[in-house]
Amino acid sequence: MVVLTIEEWQRQSTLLIQARPTTTRITTKYNIPNLESAKYNKSKKRKRNTGIDEKEEEQQQQEAAPRIPRATLTLKTFDPESGVVLQFKTDRAADVGRAINGLGRLGRYMAALPEQVEGMLSLNALSGWTLSQF
């Protein structure tokens, strides 16, 4: 299993799907941690008095911010015939957006549709339109 960056994952997944479009599968897994779990609700134990006054102790407790759980998105591209597994895992919102957009492009390859040029209108899309419609 290879863990990649988003750009590497998209490029390698595209190559794998182009080579084997009928057998390659992409799976997505979204995980939101449970706030009620023991990992995020640590019990506050009493500490020994080490000569630190109360103000410093309160300051240390405020500085130790509580752990905030982060949701994760895992994308996995798998081809059972060749045994290739490509995995990408992130908790960044920007990467999630790029990954979802990339899944649309990869789906076109799996459906054997021609690659769509981004940012340009094709002549087929403009046929039948008049200038008054723009």
- Flag whether 42 is in a domain: no
The yes-or-no verdict on residue 8 having pLDDT over 70 is: yes
Using the 8-state DSSP alphabet, how is residue 89 labeled? E
The per-residue DSSP string of 24-82 comes to -EEEEEEE---TTSTTT----PPPP--S--HHHHHHHHHHSPPPPP--EEEEEEEETTT
- Give the residue numbers spanning the domain of 76: 1-34+68-112
| Domain count for the chain | 1
DSSP class of residue 3 equals: E
**Residue 125 confidence class, pLDDT cut points 50, 70, 90:** low
Higher pLDDT, 56 or 91: 91
Residue 85 domain-assigned (yes or no): yes
pLDDT score of 21 more than 80: yes
Taking only the tens place, the pLDDT of each residue in 48-90 is: 655 556 666 666 665 555 667 788 999 999 999 999 999 999 9
Query: Within a domain: residue 134?
Result: no
pLDDT confidence band for 114 (50 / 70 / 90) = confident
96 domain residue, yes or no: yes
> Is 56 a member of any domain?
no
Question: What are 40's two structure tokens?
Answer: 């995020």
- Within a domain: residue 59? no
- In this prediction, residue 80 carries a pLDDT of 93
CATH code for position 4: 3.30.720.10
Would 87 be classed as within a structural domain? yes
Contact 76, 86 (CB under 8 A): yes
In a domain, 10, yes or no: yes
